[in-house]
């Protein structure tokens, strides 16, 4: 008999257990489980905050404490080199980078910390990193509102331009989701990477212009400015500050640069993660 067992099974419409479906069908499965993804994100938010006395208040306290610490320390270090509106400047940087860092770190652990679930139930594994980033997005809403409130307290007047924060945050979510998907797969192949992600987060934090204005530092190095203009996290911080803070302008070219980053990062993350669908839960 020339046909092997797999060919016989395929001829009768049987598929291999855990086989990776085509990308379009796979994304369709992810979308059909959107209710489960949302429920998973809400459950994790509730379970993580129920263990603390202050509960959901920590969603605001964590980035606020970080902004206070960095603002105080680097406020003294920078002294006369501090950017205008230093307090809301730092708050914007810390709050937005908190969303990015939490998405990258949580995405990196989304598969390896749910091995039992991955090995016991059939579902598209992409649901797990998507749920983690969605959880972080929901947690980011209160800090985002607080960030706007602080900008108003420091003299900013709300304008129609503030509505542009909505598409910007959509782009930011897309970018963070792509990063989370990439790191989710990488840590399955290289478990030690989960130990390195905090250092990667810190490097990005210190180079993105959270508490200093990179344009002033790069003024003496014009050759580096075009390269730094492609720093995606600096771009999103610069756009946000230009929209809501007095004394800052929105670099228009940053819009298309960051849009390109967001679309490419999400597309690469989806394909990169999907390619290894059959390996999740099978590697030690």
What is the rounded distance in angstroms from the CA atom of residue 178 to the CA atom of residue 270? 7
Would you say residue 96 has pLDDT above 80?
Answer: yes
**What is residue 212's predicted lDDT score, i.e. its pLDDT?**
82
The whole-number pLDDT of residue 207 equals: 85
Q: Grade residue 49 by pLDDT with cuts at 50, 70 and 90.
A: low
CA 21, CA 104: separation in Å to the nearest integer?
Answer: 26
For residue 160, what pLDDT is reported? 93
Among 14-28, 136-150, 165-179, 218-232, the range scoring the smallest mean pLDDT is 14-28
* Residue recorded with tokens 């130990």: 195
Distance CA 184, CA 30 (A): 16
Measured CA to CA, the distance from residue 224 to residue 177 in angstroms comes to: 28
d(CA 37, CA 26): 15
At residue 99 the predicted structure's pLDDT band, cuts being 50, 70 and 90, is very high
Closest CA to 230 of 209, 262, 257: 257
pLDDT at 176 over 80: yes
pLDDT (0 to 100) of residue 148: 94
- Report the 10 Å Cβ neighbour count for 110: 25
147-165: average pLDDT? 93
- pLDDT(24) > 60: yes
pLDDT of residue 2: 41
Give the mean pLDDT of 79-99: 85
Closest CA to 115 of 282, 277, 272, 275: 282
Q: What is the mean pLDDT of residues 2-13?
A: 50
pLDDT of 164 reads 96
């Amino acid at each position: 008999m020339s046909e092997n067992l797999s060919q016989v099974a395929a001829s009768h419409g049987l598929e291999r257990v855990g086989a990776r479906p085509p990308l379009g069908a796979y994304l369709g499965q992810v979308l059909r489980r959107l209710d489960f993804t949302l429920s998973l994100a809400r459950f994790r938010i509730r379970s993580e905050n129920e263990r603390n006395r202050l509960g959901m208040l920590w969603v605001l306290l964590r980035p606020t404490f970080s902004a206070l610490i960095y603002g105080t320390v680097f406020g003294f270090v920078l002294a006369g080199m501090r950017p205008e509106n230093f307090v809301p400047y730092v708050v914007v940087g810390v709050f937005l980078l908190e969303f990015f860092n939490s998405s990258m770190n949580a995405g990196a652990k989304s598969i390896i910390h749910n091995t039992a679930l991955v090995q016991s139930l059939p579902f598209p594994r992409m649901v797990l990193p998507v749920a983690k980033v969605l959880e972080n997005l929901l947690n980011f809403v209160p800090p985002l509102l607080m960030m706007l409130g602080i900008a108003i307290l420091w003299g900013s007047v709300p304008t129609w331009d503030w509505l542009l924060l909505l598409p910007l945050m959509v782009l930011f979510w897309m970018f963070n989701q792509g990063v989370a998907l990439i790191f989710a797969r990488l840590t399955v192949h290289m478990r030690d990477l989960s130990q390195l992600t905090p250092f990667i987060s810190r490097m990005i934090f210190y180079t993105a212009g959270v508490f200093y204005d990179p344009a002033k530092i790069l003024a003496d190095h014009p050759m580096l400015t075009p390269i730094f203009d492609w720093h995606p996290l600096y771009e999103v911080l610069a756009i946000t500050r230009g929209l809501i803070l007095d004394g800052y302008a929105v670099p228009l070219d940053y819009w298309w640069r960051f849009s390109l980053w967001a679309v490419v990062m999400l597309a690469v993350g989806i394909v990169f993660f999907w390619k290894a669908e059959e390996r999740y839960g099978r590697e030690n």
